[in-house]
Structure 1
Amino acid sequence: MKDVSTLPYRPCVGIMLVNPHGKVFVGKRIDNREGDWWQMPQGGIDEGEDLRAAAHRELWEETGVAREQVTFLSQTREELLYDLPEELVGKLWKGKYRGQRQHWFLGRFEGTDTDIDLNAHRPPEFSEWKWVEAELLPDLIVPFKKRVYRAVLEEFRALI
């Protein structure tokens, strides 16, 4: 077994997508069978990809929301890091990473609910979705990401 502390963090973007009523998009991951966990869209940054371009791409892949249907209002000042639980290191991302380093964007959704298409990209990542009160986010996410969700909420709260 590799020494986990020597593994790098996977570069990633996350998107807090907020509708006109101030509610936040969350999706239920298809691959999570061990709990009722919901998360905001997020994903890896491709080699040489601009952060904002990565955020638009990930948002489209996971939700079907097109570039012209969202306006990014803010970005976290610093990267937010999280470590995977020991039992997941080696199972995710071919064992190359210890966790993720994330840049988060706050996006105002300017479309309608019918514009959301979880099957826009194959394979889909979410089985269902909903709008939730922002304050509920830390309660909906897997435990090892709670600290990151609290930090994102704190940084974006005034703009939601």
Structure 2
Amino acid sequence: MTGWELTTLVVVLSLVVVIGVWFVGTANRLDRLHVRTDAAWAALDAALARRAVVARAVSGVVDHDLGDRLRVVAERAERAARADRETAENELTRVLAEVDRPALALALAAELIDAEHRMVIARRVHGDAVRDTLTQRRRRVVRWFKLAGTAPEPGYLEIAEPTLDEFPRPRPSARVILLDDQDRVLLFHGHDPDRAEDKFWFTAGGGVEPGEDLRTAAARELFEETGVKLEPDVLEGPLWRRRVAFSFEGRNYDGEEWFFLARLPEDAKIDTVGFTDLEARTIGEHRWWSTTDLKATGETVYPVQLAELLPTATTWDGTLRAVR
């Protein structure tokens, strides 16, 4: 074999190896894309199923006509075959839009909106996965050499996304009436970051984390905001419940506040080092308020009835009371 023939053979073999490696790499990438698409569909299917379950729960607390229609379309969406899924899910979205969200119990409203948020995210992830897979499959060389193998071509699920921004976001929160040895209550003075001129006084506490019970949330928030460490079972209550619509940082909320009672331990001091960046920017001071102080002040205090309710907090009879 001459040198020229040997060189030609080496070049040809090198090209075969390079092309073979490219084919294998492309086929593997397609396989990974199909796996990604399958996983995205499984997540979307689970999110849609959860929404249907929550929708059936909602159907039991709304008016009879709407409840019947909602239950029917939710069950239809759960049973729908893949080919009929778009129609069934779009009908469920349409009927859910008729539900008066603020009229629902806060926990159920929060569950519904969370299910819808997760559905929207899962749909977008699935759409991205389908797009990337189809882009790769439609390349000429992939089609000519059938590098996709026998894997079926994935398809989009064209369902309408609910307009979630139209609804106030549910926000359950746990708050603490922290009293000192003179029965004075600790209040913080803060403001909305978008409206610094609107200042108000409020109790320690904050939002309940997913999966967290109210009592645990109240103890956690108390420690984060005051440095006072109490076991959840030390808290008394909840004494009061307050339902309030409010806005913060430009977003509307449907809030439900649950108030617990606690005593400041003798050796404890208020320490706000645990404030988040947002709290540090929006809370200017804190102080102890007596009932006399509350009745005399012209400043805004939440809850509005605190001056009236504070004297009875220490003799709580076990009845949960709705307050403003």
Partner residue, 2:256: 101
Q: Which secondary structure does the structure 1 equivalent of 2:244 belong to?
A: strand
> Higher relative CO (CA 8 A, sep ≥ 6), structure 1 or 2?
1
AA at the equivalent of 2:219: H
In the TM superposition, residue 74 of structure 1 has moved relative to its aligned partner by 2.8
Partner residue, 1:47: 210
1:122 pairs with one of 259, 262, 276: 276
CA deviations 1:71-129 (Å, max 9, x no partner) are 4233226x320111xxx3771xxx3x53310111011111446x211122332443321
Q: How many residues align structurally? A: 147
Distance 1:149 1:22, change over 3 A: closer
Task: Tell whether 2:189 aligns with 1:34.
Answer: no
Q: Counterparts of 1:1-20 in structure 2 under 5 Å?
A: 6-20=167-181
Partner residue, 2:27: none
Quick check: which has more Rg, 1 or 2?
2
TM-score, normalising length: structure 1: 0.71
Identity of aligned residues (%): 23
In the TM superposition, residue 17 of structure 1 has moved relative to its aligned partner by 0.3
Looking at structure 2, the residues matched to 156 and 116 of structure 1 have their Cα atoms a distance apart, in angstroms, of 21
Looking at structure 1, the residues matched to 292 and 206 of structure 2 have their Cα atoms a distance apart, in angstroms, of 22
1:134 pairs with one of 283, 291, 310: 291
Structure 1: gaps (5+ residues): none
Partner residue, 2:34: none
Q: Which secondary structure does the structure 2 equivalent of 1:103 belong to?
A: strand
Task: Tell whether 2:221 aligns with 1:58.
Answer: yes
CA contact (8 A) 2:291 2:311 kept: no
TM-score, normalising length: structure 2: 0.38
